[in-house]
Structure 1
């Protein structure tokens, strides 16, 4: 059985470093070789800094996949679903390679990120780097707990990982979507606490979700806590973290799933709302500035299948 990248389903860390690259012309062969070697490099650092709980993910952009591995493509991989509705925007960005590095030590993240950039060297352009952090007890910078609806325990793997019977070559991989949101915290802080709670659909301090009938139709939890036609919850595994400095603050949103559909359904519900146009009012206070879709293949694919193509 294929082995998944353990960073996909790992528990949260204190620090995150997200690296986004575009591959330069005629560098595909080098990139395949370099990425096939990264898991061993990550294992070495995880052993060297065992107390840091280092976890990592390597993912390939939907627009780049066919150049990266022309022999086969994950069955459901597609470009990021760019959406616009008045002032609510979910833009699409072109990114070829995504490297996620998380640990409980900022310096370890820096060391590993530097090594990744040295290894990829002049084969890529670093288009974005985001250093993120755990805020209080796992809260977003809005003050609300982030990822409350995340699956727990073994159910995380059921939600996040492709099943063998669905796509054998890419089993234990995961469909990944990222968005970097920038918050308008000045405007957000101008609201009273009850107004903020109504926008989220749960209490701020003790994180108690409103009863369904008491939620505004524009509440964030109303727009993202969805069910399919059979009444089953539509789920994704979030590995998001806040980021920011004294000029800009926000959330680096990360979603893993065994299919790209749940993320797209949730995003559409936020941007376009229900049949009566009740959109997610949280989007009045935060704006997605980037958006990209990837596939994070299994460790088995990266270390055993990929080298045959490299």
Structure 2
């Protein structure tokens, strides 16, 4: 039975380190060997710093997959499609590899990220790195709790992981989408608290969701809480974390799911205007600067890369 990468469904951490790589020409053999060794590297440092609750995730870019594993492809793996509507855009940026390191210690994340870069160094260029952190009680830098609708308990695995029935060859894997958002907090903070709450359709301090009749059609919750034809909620598992300093602030958005469709529908609902011209007004105060699609395979698959 395939085993998932434990970082996919792990509980929230205090610190994160996201590494995005592009593979150099003719380095696929080296990369396959290196990727197969990353789970053991994570285990080593998780044991060494047991109090840090270290977890890691390795994912392969949709555009790179066929180069590293031409034998087969996850059934629904596809490239991140750029979306534009008026002045709103979800850009697509190509990355070949994604490595997520999370723990309750920033120094441990730094050590592990350094080891990851050393292991991959002869075959990649580091295209982007983002250090993130937990803010207060799991809030975004806008001051609102992030990921309130996340699945809990065993349901996290049902939402995030592919089952044998869905795609037996890639069971226990997950479709991953990332976007790095840059917030305009100066503009956001010109709003009164009630105006901010209306943008989200949720109270700021108590984190209570508005009743249906009080949700504006442009609110973030209204645009992202979607249902299928049978009335079932389209869920994703968010592992997002804030990042930033005194000059730059934002959110590293990370979504895991057993299908890419849920995320894609949510993103289109946010950006594209409906028949009444409604879109997610949160996009007035934040802008995605990156966007990419990956597949996070099972531990069993990563082990196969060494053969």
| Short-chain TM bin | over 0.9
SS in 2 for 1:167: helix
Q: Give runs of aligned pairs for residues 197-212 of structure 1, distance below 5 A.
A: 197-212=197-212
Counterpart position of 1:35? 35
Asked if structure 2 preserves the Cα contact closer than 8 Å seen for 1:223 and 1:273, the reply is no
SS in 2 for 1:166: helix
Residues 1:44 and 2:44 aligned together: yes
Deviations 1:182-238 (A, max 9, x none): 000000000000000000000000000000111000000000011110000000000
Asked if structure 1 preserves the Cα contact closer than 8 Å seen for 2:85 and 2:273, the reply is no
> 2: distance between equivalents of 1:84 and 1:256?
23
Asked if structure 1 preserves the Cα contact closer than 8 Å seen for 2:236 and 2:255, the reply is yes
Q: How many residues align?
A: 307
Counterpart position of 1:239? 239
Considering only aligned residues, what root-mean-square deviation do their CA atoms show, in Å? 0.6
For normalisation by structure 1, the TM-score amounts to: 0.98
> 1: distance between equivalents of 2:166 and 2:137?
37
> 2: distance between equivalents of 1:160 and 1:154?
10
Counterpart position of 1:55? 55
For normalisation by structure 2, the TM-score amounts to: 0.99
Deviation for aligned residue 1:307:
1.9
Deviation for aligned residue 1:167:
1.0
Counterpart position of 1:77? 77
> 2: distance between equivalents of 1:96 and 1:276?
38
Residues 1:287 and 2:270 aligned together: no
Deviations 1:6-50 (A, max 9, x none): 000000000000000000000000000000011111101000000
> 2: distance between equivalents of 1:277 and 1:229?
23
Deviations 1:158-200 (A, max 9, x none): 0000011111111000000000000000000000000000000
Deviations 1:103-151 (A, max 9, x none): 0000000000000011111210000000000000000000000000000
> 1: distance between equivalents of 2:88 and 2:221?
17
> 1: distance between equivalents of 2:263 and 2:164?
21
Higher mean Cα deviation, 162-171 or 236-245?
162-171
Residues 1:121 and 2:115 aligned together: no
Counterpart position of 1:110? 110
Q: 5+ residue gaps in structure 2?
A: none
Q: Give runs of aligned pairs for residues 210-289 of structure 1, distance below 5 A.
A: 210-289=210-289
